[in-house]
Amino acid sequence: MTTSPGIRISRRGILRAGLKLVAGSALTALGATAYATEIEPRWPKVDRVRVPIQALPPTFNGYRIVQLSDIHLGSFTPPETITRAIRIALDLAPDLIALTGDYVLDVMDTAALQAELGKLAAHGHVFATMGNHDHWLDPAGVRLALANAGIPELQNASRPIVRGDQAIWLMGVDDIWERHHDLPSALADVPPDAVSILLAHEPDYADEATLTNQVTLQLSGHSHGGQVRIPGIGAPILPYLGRKYPYGLRRIGSMWLYTNRGVGEIPPAVRVNCRPEIAEITLCQA
């Protein structure tokens, strides 16, 4: 076989070139696989978001909430990944830590979960809600771990957060997918004109929450951001109740929604262009 004049390529040379091409492609594929399964899932990112609120009491201007979601202790998210995310959350020294569900995936290790969550409880202002995977695996076990760790669950309930003579309200609903939520009960004690923050695992519930005109900000998780995000396309796979609002800050009717990409993974346990997240949400006067 000849190419340009004076240059001859033997069959052996063609074979060697082909083998190098195959080997290079294989190494690239292996590298991409390693990145998606071992590097990005263990590479958490702090996302800082400011939420402007017109009626925010002055003493809460600059109030910081760190949100953790979907830690999924189990086969795909090792304890060291969760420990790292918790350490980052505590190092941010927020005013409040919000946990928005899915603490487990496929293994219920109450002692291990309690040990991890207990590190957060030392902060003093930590509140939690449940997610769909918690109900699917062992809701009693998850609730026991939260209680033993000293973290209150807002189960269709609310709490005032007081600074001086001013307050905002923190609310939580139980899991929406499993139909354990009861937003009217969560709102029952909240003054109609109060600034209120709702912890609700599934983000698409925002379409219902905004209809009350009593929710200022909803914090959610559930979607994992899709775990894989293709530039110009987005996430090819998203879960039920996490398809409309899969990540980030959005305005939904009269309220804000923030969807956290989560700490852990569900199968397929990969992340590409969608790093695990610790969200730092700062409330500010509009």
Domain spans in the chain, listed from the N-terminal domain onward: 1-42, 46-285
Query: What are the distances in angstroms from CA 117 to CA 9, 68, 240?
Result: 65, 11, 27
Containing H/E element for 218?
Answer: strand 217-220
- Phi and psi (nearest 5°) for 163? -135, 110
What CATH superfamily is the domain 46-285? Metallo-dependent phosphatases (3.60.21.10)
Neighbours of 154 (CB within 10 A): 22
pLDDT in tens, the chain (286 residues): 444 445 455 555 544 544 343 334 433 545 678 899 999 999 999 999 999 999 999 999 999 999 999 999 998 998 899 999 999 999 999 999 999 999 999 989 999 999 999 999 888 899 999 999 999 999 999 999 999 999 999 999 999 999 999 999 999 999 999 999 999 999 999 999 999 999 999 999 999 999 999 999 999 999 999 999 999 999 999 999 999 999 999 999 999 999 999 999 999 999 999 999 999 999 999 9
Which own/partner pairs from 85-89 qualify as long-range (CB within 8 Å, at least 24 positions apart)?
A: 85/44, 85/263, 85/276, 85/278, 86/116, 86/119, 86/120, 87/119, 88/44, 88/46, 88/278, 89/120, 89/278
Q: What is the pTM of this model?
A: 0.89
